[in-house]
Structure 1
Amino acid sequence: MANRFIIGRGEVLTYEIPPPKSGGPKVHPYSLAEAKATLIPQIQGMAAQVVDLPASACPGNIAVAKMTLHPAYIAKSFFPTGLLRGAGLISVGSRTVRVTPMKDTRKKIVEQRETTQIFVAGTRESFARFPAYAQQLETGIKEGVEFSEIEALGLMSSEDRIKISESVRGKGVYEVGLHLIPDTSVEALRRSFAAYCRQCGFTVASKYEFQVGGLMFVPVEGDASGLETLARFTLMRVIRPMPMLRSVRPLTRGTPISVGFRLPGNQPLSNEPSVAVLDGGLPSHHVLNPYVSNYFKSDDAAADVAGYLDHGLGVTSALLFGPVEPGEEAQRPYSYVDHYRVLDELSDGEDPYELYRTLGHVEEVLLSRQYQFMNLSLGPDRSIEDDDVHAWTAVIDTLLSDGETLLTVAVGNNGERDQALGFNRVQVPADCVNALSVGASNRTDKSWSRAPYSARGPGRNPGRRKPDVVAFGGSPKEYFHVAVPGVRPELSATMGTSFASPYVLRTAVGIRAVLGEAVVPLTVKALIVHAAESPELEASADPLDIGWGRVPQDLNDIIMCGDGVARIIYQGVLRPGKFLRAPVPLPLVQLQGNVQLHATFCYASPVDVQDTGAYTKAGLSVTFRPHAGKKKPDKEPAPKSFFSTTEFRTEQEQRDDLGKWETVLDACHTFRGSSLEGATFDIHYNARDGGATPNAGAELVRYALVLTVIAPKHTNLYDDILSSHSVLKAIEPKVSIPLRT
């Protein structure tokens, strides 16, 4: 078989098209009169509660309420901008909740559905005027329509803010998220909160404070008995126990075995990819020195910890070599690596503040913008929550939103914890939408499945499919072998998602090393998701366990094409509100038999950390049109469902189907060759800000599309596509690697 590398420059085929015509008028569940009858008593109750708030708990005289929208109105175009302005209120965040509305326009039987709950802030005076303002609203005006879209209103209570089990007793450390009010002094908020904490018997560790988006995260310390009073502070979003670093309690500490291994006979394949590991450091003596370009300590004054050094060396070994076969020669590294020691003796104690100190170290490396590829096999020992974003996730997602760095993150080894309580869900920051979260599989052969210890999904919405992918991470029947400290090449038998994650990054670095600058990190992420494979018994492949699947162990399965197969990549930027048409490159001759189309979209999105209900500020609506000739006069070609979402599906259905606000879309469908002619994907970039339409110009976002066409009866498909589309070019490898024969 000829060596055929993936085809590039698909973006040259794309072009902008006019927007389609909008649908018909919206059917509203409530009239304005019905809304007033229900909501005005609730508003009056809120106004009375605001009056009773103590001045010390109400900085700047500001209180925060929760405005729950009817599930029919979660699209950004329904955001109640005019109503909030008229009432003297502002949105400071949102979250997704499930409610059973009083009426449902779509179904005769009213069911519980997902919707958006907006946090709205205003002065005491604004809340006092709100009932009269609502009473004078009229039918037909914008503000009146927006008012009738509300399901419920209520003041934020201590119970809404506290995320702590009843078993918590005595003195403890907690992390608090505070709402930042636009155009108001952060320093004034800081002083007010510190004073209120003192009044409640709590102290604030302000030196560990993080500000991300519209939230400020800060640790506090005090007795659990005072939490309810502390949580009356009106600008508090959430308070929860401060978790420990998960790497303090590893799944297993590797045990050296008597069998050695041989180091590769060659230097790394490439000097070009810039790669970093953020972990526990490297011991004074180890055999990886020839492959480690630089070693940095985030805090030179802090001493090493032996267990962390073992972990850091093992993670670096997994990135360089993958799992090493005892007694054999390790695989050749694809590139050199830098190692950052972000864990040290200060992280090793029981001081919960070190969680934020370590995040500061991670942030510093990300802010340097030096690396295209990075691995993080550590984080808080906390399973993700649907209501609120953790500081680790917020910081990392924000810094990855430019799409220029691929970060692999281990999902955690908590997969055997209590499922009913959600303790087995992926751990922070594996819920990042701009990172690649990695779980572990238990075997290297075709009979693999999720390793029992590997954390499970779902993630938050958006980002429901977590982990993104899995890779071999070891199991008691087949360990993951890594290098151990010392001057001789010896191995440790271990297992964990900590090693699966850098193993995936090794594949990513390999793609970039071979293909060079023709592929950017975001495209590498899309290629990895695209090539992910299901286990031999696909019926047992639960996305909650394995995400999109297991990453191939052979790089050739990702970057090369067999007979009757063509893999094309598109990469570029999308403009907000615009429609981009991406043609599917097919040969000029009619394809015979069945043709399989497999498409993967990845994009990097800015995030609103205070808006868990509208976390990603960018989303894609993708419409597939398989046949250019099948259309009505003056109409676009007929669409066909591809990513489980049709052209006129409601916002709720798109969200339930992992739709347009997900940063990864992947699907595969089979068509008759005769049904494909001038096929296209029409891509619409939706922009939002705080759940609403942006007031100013939204950011450009990077995207990558990987498209594989499989036509078994057309063995020359690859060459025929290249000859039919002269702008497309096969990507030439930059280095020599062992190829299939």
Structure 2
Amino acid sequence: MADDDRPQPAPLLYLAGRRERLMKFAEALPGWRPVEQAVRSEFREIEKVSLPDSSRAKHLPDAPSDKAIPLEIVLHADADDGGYILEGFASFANSIGLDVDLSRGRQNGGLCFLPMYAPKQLVPRLLQFSFLRALRSMPRIVPLDPVVRSLVPGFTVDLPTDPATAQEIKVAIFDGGLPSNHGLDKWVSRKKAPGVGNAIPSAQAHGLMVTSAFLFGSLDPSRTQAIPPANVDHWRVLGDDTTNDDFELYSVLERIETVLDSRPYDFVNISLGPDCAIEDDDVNAWTSTLDTLLADGETVATVACGNNGESDKDLGLHRIQPPSDGVNMIAVGAANNLGASWQRAPYSACGPGRSPGYVKPDIVSFGGTPTSPFLVLGAAAQGTGTQGTSFAAPLAMRSGVAIRAQFNDPLWAPTVKGLLIHHANAGSNDRTEVGWGRVSHEISDLVTCADGEAHIVYQRQMPTSGAVRLFLPVPAGLSGNVDIKATFCFFCEVDPEDSINYTRGGLEIQFRPDTHKLGKPYFKDGKLITPKLPPTDRFFQADDFYTPEFMRRDDAQKWETTITRTKTKRATSLNDPAFDVSHITRLHGHNGGRRPLIKFALILTLKNKAVDLYDQVVTASRNRLQPMVPRTDIRVITRS
């Protein structure tokens, strides 16, 4: 990939205080000489000191200056500040003739998102409010995906009669609902989110197609469809009450939040969201809300990344749409076909995301094109063709549920996400277009080992102190090279108000090829240092997946929630090799703070010329690892 030469975001610090104190600080700053070296170093890193300016106003539509337009106001207002900032803003807005409904505000971390109407001519006045972080045009819900009907005449669909494979797995789809004659009652429960209005037929058609994509994948007109991997609760979150509501984004998000707060799900799919590209310097309310809800690592969420991939690239309008930029979700783009020569579907939104979360979309899945449509259930239980990331996302979730259903061992959300990414194949495609690659829809590709190959899964909850050592089960006596592919994945809490230092948790990972051999003594500052730990060999480097130079720093990958790499080592250089993993924390970019519980997974693949490598691994690691037990009632199709 070519280097990204666009201006890159830098940490922006907001300071608040009494006017007279800030003025005195500004006057004293040019001649200030801090006593402590650390303070001097930190101040040298500050490039600019200024008052908030008009750049906080973003993406305002073309409209008469006196016409009120729907806006989203973002305020620096912590939930523990007693509400004085919100009340102050409401009073300030009233003083210039504007009304603010504080009851519709959304509190996320240290930010409050407020909807309001205001004419463009009063925007400069609004920007005078000191605690205003951003002001932008309020996005609408992304238009539902177009159906490619002209190329696919309706066809009869032969549905299975068997119940879902793993009925204990709880799955939810948030979408436009289902028509009354959908014909999927055996596997689907229709549910209405609290407060939703009457159903919209076009939204129900979209909901039916999204649900069909999860239950059966792209339909095969020549045979009976595959048995669904799990049952589904389809939550209708769109209604006619939001059709003419300029602030529908808040209503729909609140419905999703209410459901996820009230009941646990193993998997959820969201194929709708704000119709806008992500921004590097701000986090959307949808993203921050869902990242917070999913931080405990209990739920796998697949999110469509958007169909704006052909929008203006110079303006960044082709980039992924919220909430697919979340770090605790799986952003899914669309591939144009199921064959070996696949590419990104032209409409599929592109990365990169922010850092952390730079590699976006996470994966791509088949989404259909006019020449190779995604076949789904349509009206009157007839098959039809469509395209869009809306269908790639539930198809990817289908693969994740299939992995979870394959084993008796309970797999955590980071583990399922890690497995999907670990087995994704990017081919020759650009990472900014397809992320880590296309996920396979064949369960045998995701859970079986070929000759000379062994897959190992670790899932752990990091202790609040200390580190964990994860051994790579490399059998003794191997010859030649060993290819090691490692994928780390974790979920964590976030700071919505700090887009650069968004994740509060991270993993510091050290690879030790030989855990029985200590490093050689060396001199430092005139003192002889005798190492107490085996030497490390760098496994993950930031330049493996970062493009801009400013992001290729040593600690960049520590805060990424997903990293993966393959490295080749001589078998003779490996002696009980291991990853030592430490839990690091930060709060608004500063080290330290409490250490919340964090779930993580390590997915390993070892490859060697030894055909019986899997059997050797099982024998050599019997005291540390155990084979994962597959369900006896699921048939895995192996291919030669």
Name the structure 2 match of 1:624: 511
User: Is 1:698 equivalent to 2:595 in the alignment?
Assistant: yes
Between 1 and 2, higher relative CO (CA 8 Å, sep ≥ 6) is seen in 1
Q: For residues 602-638 of structure 1, what are the alpha-carbon distances to aligned partners after superposition, in whole Å with 9 as ceiling and x for unaligned?
A: 0001000001121000112222222344731433333
Alpha-carbon distance between aligned partners in 1 of 2:22 and 2:80, rounded to the nearest angstrom = 19
Q: Aligned-pair distance for 1:133?
A: 6.1
Superposed CA offset, 1:399-456 (max 9, x none): 1111111100000111111111111100011100100000000001101010000000
Residues 574 and 702, structure 1, Cα contact 8 Å, conserved in 2: yes
Aligned to 2:108: 212
Per the alignment, residue 736 of structure 1 pairs with 633
How far apart are 1:659 and its partner, in Å?
Answer: 1.1
* C-alpha spacing 1:521/1:249, structure 2 compared with 1 (3 Å): closer
Counterpart amino acid of 1:666? T
User: CA–CA distance in 1 between the matches of 2:310 and 2:5?
Assistant: 27
Residues 183, 325 of structure 1: alpha-carbon distance in 2 compared, 3 angstrom cutoff = closer
* 1:670 aligned onto 2:568: yes
2:495 matched to which residue of 1?
Answer: 608
Among residues 364, 389, 395, which one is paired with 2:289 in the alignment?
Answer: 395
1:516 Cα deviation (Å)?
3.5
What does the per-residue CA deviation read over 1:577-611, in whole Å, with 9 as the maximum and x for residues that have no partner? 63322211111x22112211000000001000001
What is the 5 A alignment of 1:19-168? 115-131=10-26, 134=29, 135=31, 137-140=33-36, 142-157=38-53, 159-165=54-60, 167-168=62-63
What does 1:71-470 align with in structure 2 at a 5 Å threshold? 115-131=10-26, 134=29, 135=31, 137-140=33-36, 142-157=38-53, 159-165=54-60, 167-169=62-64, 170-181=67-78, 184-186=81-83, 188-246=84-142, 248-252=143-147, 257-292=153-188, 294-299=189-194, 302-349=197-244, 351-470=245-364
| In 1, Cα distance between equivalents of 2:374 and 2:618 | 42
Q: Secondary structure at the match of 2:287?
A: helix
In structure 2, what is the equivalent of residue 555 of structure 1?
Answer: 443
- In the comparison of the two structures, how many residue pairs are matched? 616
Change (3 A) 1:656 1:253: farther
* Aligned partner of residue 732 in structure 1, secondary structure: coil
Report the 3-state secondary structure (helix = DSSP H, G, I; strand = E; otherwise coil) of the residue aligned with 2:12: strand
User: TM-score, normalized by length of structure 2?
Assistant: 0.91
Pair 1:190–1:335, CA change in 2 (3 A): same
Mapped partners of 1:160, 1:534: distance in 2:
37
CA distance in 2, matches of 1:230, 1:152: 23
Q: In 2, are the aligned partners of 1:267 and 1:332 still within 8 Å (CA)?
A: yes
- Alpha-carbon displacement from aligned partner over 1:445-485 (angstroms, at most 9, x marks no partner): 10101000000001111111110000000011111011123
**Identical-pair percentage:** 38
Counterpart amino acid of 1:198?
N
CA distance 1:402–1:645, shift in 2 (3 Å): same
Preserved CA contact (<8 Å) 2:197 2:238: no
TM-superposed CA distance for 1:717, in Å, is: 1.2
Whether the aligned pair in 2 keeps the contact of 1:577 and 1:686 (CA below 8 Å) is no
Choose 189-198 or 426-435, whichever is displaced more. Answer: 189-198
Aligned: 1:500 with 2:397: no
Letter in 1 for 2:616: D
SS of equivalent to 2:92: helix
Contact 1:564-1:716 at 8 Å conserved across structures: yes
TM-superposition CA deviations, 1:35-72 (whole Å, max 9, x none): xxxxxxxxxxxxxxxxxxxxxxxxxxxxxxxxxxxxxx
In the alignment, which residue of structure 1 is the partner of 2:612?
716
Unaligned runs of 5+ in 1: 1-96, 100-111
Q: What is the letter of the counterpart of residue 73 of structure 2?
A: V
1:281·1:339 contact (CA, 8 Å) conserved in 2?
yes
CA RMSD, 1 decimal: 2.4
Structure 2 portions without partners, runs of 5+: 522-529, 544-548
Cα distance change on mapping 1:595 and 1:645 into 2, 3 Å: same
Separation in 2, partners of 1:118, 1:552 = 43
Q: Secondary structure at the match of 1:290?
A: coil
Deviation at 1:239, TM superposition (A): 0.4
Q: 1:519 to 1:401 in 2, by over 3 A?
A: same
**How far apart, CA to CA, are the structure 1 residues paired with 2:15 and 2:202?**
47
Post-superposition Cα deviations, 1:530-552, rounded to whole Å, max 9, x if no partner, equal 010123xx2xx101111000111
CA displacement 1:137-191 (0-9 Å, x = unmatched):
443365445434433211112x1311135745432101011001575321x2222
Distance 2:559 2:369 in 1: 35
Deviations 1:322-361 (A, max 9, x none): 1001242111111111110001112333x22111100101
Aligned to 1:86: none
Quote how far apart the aligned CAs of 1:654 are.
4.8
Q: For residues 104 and 465 of structure 2, what CA distance do their matches in structure 1 show?
A: 39
1:426 touches 1:467 (CA, 8 Å); kept in 2? yes
* Counterpart AA for 2:210: V
Whether contact under 8 Å (1:201, 1:223) holds in the other structure is no
Given the superposition, is the C-alpha separation of residues 478 and 430 from structure 1 closer, same or farther in structure 2, using an over 3 Å criterion?
Answer: same
Aligned partner of 2:415 in structure 1 is 523
Match of 1:578 in 2: 466
Give the conservation status (yes or no) of the 8 Å contact 1:201–1:222: no
Cα distance in 1 for partners of 2:8, 2:512 equals: 31
Q: Deviations over 1:679-728 (max 9, x none)?
A: 11122221001111234x221211011011011x2111111111111231
Q: How far apart are residue 267 of structure 1 and its match?
A: 1.6
Distance 1:333 1:342 in 2: 23
Moved over 6 A (4+): none
User: What is the alpha-carbon distance in structure 2 between the residues aligned to residue 138 and residue 408 of structure 1?
Assistant: 49
* C-alpha spacing 1:419/1:142, structure 2 compared with 1 (3 Å): closer
Cα separation, 2, equivalents of 1:386 and 1:658: 16
Which secondary structure does the structure 1 equivalent of 2:260 belong to?
A: helix
> TM-score if structure 1 supplies the norm length?
0.79
